[in-house]
Amino acid sequence: MSMDEHAADATTGRRRRAPWSRRRKVVVGIASALVLALVATIGVFAIRLQTSSAGVERVEEAFPDESVRPDADDAGALNYLLLGSDSRGEGGSLLDSLGDRADTILLVHVPPDRQTVQIMSIMRDSWVDIPGYGMSKINAALSYGGVPLMVQTVEQLIDQRIDDVAIIDFAGFEGLTDALGGVTVQNEVAFSAGHSGPIHSFEAGEITLDGASALDYVRERYAFSDGDYQRVRNQQAYMRGLLDALLEPSVVANPVAITDLVEVMAPYMATTDGLTTTGVLGIAAEFVGAGVPEVRTFTMPTTGVGTVGSQSVVLVDDAALQLVREAFAAESMTDFVAPEPVTTTP
């Protein structure tokens, strides 16, 4: 092809084509710029992952000896133990503030099909067998043997393996709730509370909590005739609303949004390695593939409050708990409906 064929036609005004060597340089230049931009984006994202994970305190010793643990679930179910604390210790460590008690004990079960998320609350005064120590309130496991003994006690109760542990300071819910633009809950009982300053009034029905009111909502127990039972139900309502917000496609499918939320919670969390930002992103990807799961909550079955010696305790319904164990052992809990706990006092 001659140079005349590359030149612009004087009659038509058609633009001449650049020589191939020049066009190749332009194409290669654009491709290089895109590659550099992609590398830079990945680099920034990796830094964000490391930064957000770095702020989360690590639970270095969380699990009992392997010889006393249930086998891992080959079907792919996941179990997380969440221990809630009302306040951080003076040294800034959540492990220190947890001390010898947990204000909230939650087991989060994710079935292999990822269609639901089941959250089981365990009453902190539940009268259970603590390995090596006999019958006692479940909270005593922390004072006897720390987090590993608490994990062993819960694993013995449900006959399932705990995959990861998180300790959460309730104060973290304030920032997380605000970061999500509020959390909507179905509130069973109207009440008022003011743990952190101004009095917040919560009407019965659907309400939306901001950060400050969420903190009072999950902490209050003295306003209720059945105390911790209603407090647990309110915490379950909040967790359902929180997970509904977190599992929105705009959040769960957005790695940047997830890392932003982890950064908000990082100062208020201590976790095992599987709940780093990278681990959470992996779980989120599975949820994206399975669709938005339904969040369900229930309380470990009880027969009410009783007295053992001078202690007021919550008595476990062993027959109903066996149904829970069988449901956990099945390949999916998607259709599981737990027996309602009895809340009567003697």
SS3 (DSSP) at 62:
coil
Taking the C-alpha atoms of residue 142 and residue 165, their distance in angstroms, rounded to an integer, is 14
Q: What is the pLDDT of residue 103?
A: 84
Burial code (b: 16+ CB inside 10 Å, e: under 16) for 120-135 equals bbbbbbbbbebeeeee
Backbone angles phi, psi at 270, to 5 degrees: -130, 130
Residue pLDDT tens, the chain, 346 long: 544 444 445 444 444 555 545 555 444 444 544 444 434 433 434 434 444 445 678 888 889 999 999 988 777 888 999 998 765 544 466 666 566 678 889 998 888 887 788 889 999 999 999 999 999 999 999 989 999 999 999 999 999 999 999 888 888 888 899 999 999 999 999 999 887 678 999 999 999 999 989 989 998 988 998 888 899 999 999 988 988 888 787 887 777 787 788 788 888 888 887 776 556 656 666 665 556 677 788 899 999 899 999 999 999 999 989 988 888 887 656 666 666 655 554 4
Residue 109 · residue 78 · CB < 8 Å = yes
Query: Chain-centre distance of CA 145, in angstroms?
Result: 24
Distances (CA, A) of 53 to 67, 93, 260, 263, 329: 30, 16, 11, 8, 32
- Number of alpha carbons in the 13 Å side-chain half-sphere of residue 35: 6
Q: What is the pLDDT of residue 250?
A: 80
Helix (H, G, I), strand (E, B) or coil at 171: coil
Query: Between β-strands 164-169 and 269-271, what pairing exists: parallel, antiparallel or unpaired?
Result: antiparallel
Question: For residues 153 and 129, what is the distance between their CA atoms, to the nearest angstrom?
Answer: 7
Q: What is the pLDDT of residue 135?
A: 96
Q: Are 302 and 317 spatial neighbours (Cβ–Cβ below 8 Å)?
A: yes
Rounded to a whole number of angstroms, the CA Rg of the chain reads 26
pLDDT of 346: 45
What's the whole-model pTM score? 0.75
Tokens read off for 222: 């003295």
Query: In which element (H, E) is residue 205 found?
Result: strand 205-209
Structure confidence at residue 219 (pLDDT):
87
What is the structure's pLDDT at 28?
A: 45
Q: How far is it, in rounded angstroms, from Cα 125 to Cα 328?
A: 23
Alpha-carbon distance values, 221 to 103, 232, 346 (Å): 11, 9, 19
Give the chain's domains with CATH numbers: 55-329 (3.40.630.190)
Classify residue 192 by burial, with Cβ atoms within 10 Å: 0-12, 13-18, 19+: exposed
Q: Residue 30: helix, strand or coil by DSSP? A: helix
Report the relative pairing of strands 294-299 and 116-121 from DSSP bridges.
Answer: parallel
